[in-house]
Structure 1
């Protein structure tokens, strides 16, 4: 171990926390923006006189931009330095936010969201790289717990803030709010981050870029089209997924040939990183996919407002805040293989309640279950990432964090699409109401559709017998419960790779280039 690493204090000192503040500001902007915009989709439909499929591109375009730029981040961080690149990402994201607020058509808004995504896609992997280098291998757990706060609170705080801003002001403010935060973050980054000393330029892997970035974008485009099309058999779904998958598979075989590939899959030879990456991917598919449906249950089955649905999700964030600092300290002292499985069991225990939801399930029970899930979340995601990055040298951290962010992006998109399709197919099995058609499409209205629509349009409720609406609501609740069963089973499945996480303390060693690196991994 180097003398600097050996002398590193056990606690997070002021210098490290100063750097952490920069990264947390960037992460808050990037993550909150995803969930805030999801709340605004109905508003975009009204403002721009657009269909749901058209306004959904405000989410899809952002996701595709993330997928395109994330693979470039590792190389660019080595080539230009993390400070310059991080500040550039902040400028792109803040500029995109300001332009989004000026959009007067759905096409313009989608284009500006792509610009936002180009900046936002670099913020998270760069933030993880900056924080890991600042903390050193002995303090990664505590520092990652700090970064985990916006990652876990974003899905809770986004709907609350988005609903409130739209209610009291207008949709423009969900983007304008980023301007002062971005300006502060930019000045803060210039002041707090150390001057860059980029390493000699590595050759850029143009062939890899032409395969990986378009491949990821094409695959995620097909996945994002799945909820709208409703089946894998639709050309809009399987064709881009197939093209994307072939490009990504081609990149996998190619990436072991160049000395400096765009995405260094050689890192997966580190068994600790591989196990942690698999655990993280399965967990993200399970939880991030089903997690997006919790607010939808409150909106569509219980008839709550967007703001109230966001507030009902708050116990989850509170639970995460309780355990995250504890998990961060434990991750630096106790192997994550001894803690993460117990955290996953807490998530599964809370998740089980939602497999039993009905039209009048107690809010006390639901909020208590969300709190328990939050306790488990605080002890899961960040310790897994800590385990993955702890075994990498300083030079490898940028590449490793880029790899983890790509896996997380793919897993999150697949999980969200999968859960949406399962729920949609369940709802489509509802019986049609004789004589009632949708004036916009002319198609028959189902009991489930009438029940959901009754919360937004009281005239529907007045036209139908109360017992029919109740039957429709029960069907919708059962559809959510069935979908939550899938998420619950996948959460339990995450225990399988989690049991292979490191269960012995690892000692750092000195790599050949003089940077801190861990000793060989020992598991049992």
Structure 2
């Protein structure tokens, strides 16, 4: 049983009755205004991922150099994400969103005009600066607008870009690379950005008073390079040597040390720190962040394996591989809405258990698949896998905000975004090392198939661990207490 002190409003939480879970039309307008701009960020990431070979050829750059088109973007995200909460307090929510979206628009146009690999990498960093603000700010805007109501339903909509990106991004990228110049990969963003700016100007509520907050320079100097070191080290694990490489091991060690130093610093600074990590005392936020990080191995790490399986083992083009991966995105699209509604009534615990179990079981067919396995059977498995992904991710993302006060939401958004970002990179790195090690000992086509099967079995195992760890999540959300009569 919980109590509320006199004069202090109860912390918002998802309600269980129809009236309190009804979403206000003004909230819907805010959600859709934010989503249009966010689609540009998500599409950009997934579209460019299939274009590195073409960019390497057309810009006359080595694969190791052109890889920085993606790496530079991700590292820029890592640097900017931690300062989003401070920037929001200084500039205001609406103003910051418009600035970030404008920066991303400018970076997209400049990227389309790039004349060399270094210029493209530089302009991608500009995109990353805008995108790094937009990703956590998107969750903050809609969760603050929602006022703690129907968090699951709202997160099922907010996650729409993350669902559509993997479905449409590789397909759009493949079509562009087949029929148009690579510069159109970035022009695709422009309509979303322009429309997003117009909608945000009209539909996002005006900012209230702006709070002048001092900038935690020490915290930034510790946290930003720490995240960059971790993500940079993990991005190099696909080369020979895996985690034992110097350009993997030392950045990882340095990043972890800086991250631990930031934790100690933030504990001293408390609410004056760059990010208030004391928010992790909320079990909903801390447990969901742990699961979001760990889900990167079992859920998103396998997303590295799937296109490689279709392209390397079965000899498909990037476009063909993208088309075959559509069922997974469709499954996620279909399950996210019901998962959001159920999380508002039954909580995240059992949904996460069920979702991880579905993902584990539906990955098993790939652990037996070879170069000639029936594609229909694999697409059915991908559809089911997508259903599991939606059942897991939407409740976990919504759970991070349960019971938080409005001022706490920005830092919670940053914490959950960092957990997801680092977890996804870690999961991809671990499975890349496992696959590379298995392929190194393969001398035949059958051996290569066995290498992929080994990596998929590891993915199944990680998802099974997720089933067990999901039991630590909070149970059914409490109902919101009715407002006292005057």
TM category (shorter chain) comes to: over 0.9
**How far 1:200 moved relative to its partner?**
2.4
**What per-residue deviation string (whole Å, max 9, x for no partner) do you get for residues 232-257 of structure 1?**
23221112222211111111111111
| 5+ residue gaps, structure 2 | 1-8
Does residue 316 (structure 1) correspond to residue 328 (structure 2)? The answer is yes
Does residue 235 (structure 1) correspond to residue 246 (structure 2)? The answer is yes
**How far 1:508 moved relative to its partner?**
4.3
Structure-1-length-normalised TM-score: 0.86
**How far 1:396 moved relative to its partner?**
0.3
**How far 1:223 moved relative to its partner?**
1.4
**How far 1:317 moved relative to its partner?**
1.4
**How far 1:229 moved relative to its partner?**
4.3
**Alignment-derived partner of residue 163 in structure 1:** 174
Asked if 2 retains the 8 angstrom alpha-carbon contact of 1:63 and 1:117, the reply is yes
Alignment partner for residue 190 of structure 1, among 201, 212, 215?
A: 201
**How far 1:474 moved relative to its partner?**
2.2
Asked if 1 retains the 8 angstrom alpha-carbon contact of 2:288 and 2:399, the reply is yes
Alignment partner for residue 201 of structure 1, among 195, 212, 215?
A: 212
Does residue 82 (structure 1) correspond to residue 93 (structure 2)? The answer is yes
Query: Which shifted more, 367-376 or 314-323?
Result: 314-323
Matches within 5 A, 1:359-374: 359-374=371-386
| Distance of 1:55 and 1:329 partners within structure 2 | 43
Does residue 177 (structure 1) correspond to residue 188 (structure 2)? The answer is yes
| Distance of 2:252 and 2:31 partners within structure 1 | 37
| Distance of 1:276 and 1:509 partners within structure 2 | 24
| 5+ residue gaps, structure 1 | 432-471, 511-524
Asked if 2 retains the 8 angstrom alpha-carbon contact of 1:29 and 1:178, the reply is yes
Matches within 5 A, 1:93-104: 93-104=104-115
Alignment partner for residue 51 of structure 2, among 24, 40, 47?
A: 40
| Distance of 2:346 and 2:325 partners within structure 1 | 30
Asked if 1 retains the 8 angstrom alpha-carbon contact of 2:283 and 2:474, the reply is no
Query: Which shifted more, 414-423 or 34-43?
Result: 414-423
**How far 1:398 moved relative to its partner?**
0.5
Does residue 287 (structure 1) correspond to residue 299 (structure 2)? The answer is yes
| Distance of 2:81 and 2:390 partners within structure 1 | 25
Q: Which has the higher contact order (CA 8 A, sep 6+)?
A: 2
Does residue 475 (structure 1) correspond to residue 486 (structure 2)? The answer is no
| Distance of 1:332 and 1:87 partners within structure 2 | 31
| Distance of 1:342 and 1:218 partners within structure 2 | 35
Asked if 2 retains the 8 angstrom alpha-carbon contact of 1:79 and 1:198, the reply is no
**How far 1:26 moved relative to its partner?**
2.4
**Alignment-derived partner of residue 51 in structure 1:** 62
RMSD: 1.9
**How far 1:202 moved relative to its partner?**
2.2
Structure-2-length-normalised TM-score: 0.93
**Structure whose CA Rg is larger:** 1
Asked if 2 retains the 8 angstrom alpha-carbon contact of 1:222 and 1:236, the reply is yes
| Distance of 2:244 and 2:310 partners within structure 1 | 31
Does residue 420 (structure 1) correspond to residue 392 (structure 2)? The answer is no
Asked if 1 retains the 8 angstrom alpha-carbon contact of 2:37 and 2:195, the reply is no
Does residue 408 (structure 1) correspond to residue 420 (structure 2)? The answer is yes
Asked if 2 retains the 8 angstrom alpha-carbon contact of 1:19 and 1:192, the reply is yes
Pair 1:169–1:496, CA change in 2 (3 A): same
**What per-residue deviation string (whole Å, max 9, x for no partner) do you get for residues 38-67 of structure 1?**
100110111112221111111110110010
Matches within 5 A, 1:8-19: 10-19=21-30
SS of 2:368 mapped into structure 1: coil
Alignment partner for residue 370 of structure 2, among 348, 355, 358?
A: 358
SS of 1:403 mapped into structure 2: helix
Pair 1:252–1:365, CA change in 2 (3 A): same
**Alignment-derived partner of residue 343 in structure 2:** 331
SS of 1:333 mapped into structure 2: helix
**Alignment-derived partner of residue 222 in structure 2:** 211
Alignment partner for residue 278 of structure 2, among 266, 277, 287?
A: 266
| Distance of 2:340 and 2:195 partners within structure 1 | 27
Does residue 110 (structure 1) correspond to residue 82 (structure 2)? The answer is no
| Distance of 1:430 and 1:333 partners within structure 2 | 49
Asked if 2 retains the 8 angstrom alpha-carbon contact of 1:78 and 1:198, the reply is no
**Alignment-derived partner of residue 378 in structure 1:** 390
Query: Which shifted more, 256-265 or 108-117?
Result: 256-265
**Alignment-derived partner of residue 398 in structure 1:** 410
Alignment partner for residue 503 of structure 1, among 436, 457, 475?
A: 475
Asked if 1 retains the 8 angstrom alpha-carbon contact of 2:347 and 2:476, the reply is yes
Pair 1:2–1:8, CA change in 2 (3 A): farther
Query: Which shifted more, 247-256 or 289-298?
Result: 289-298
| Distance of 1:405 and 1:27 partners within structure 2 | 14
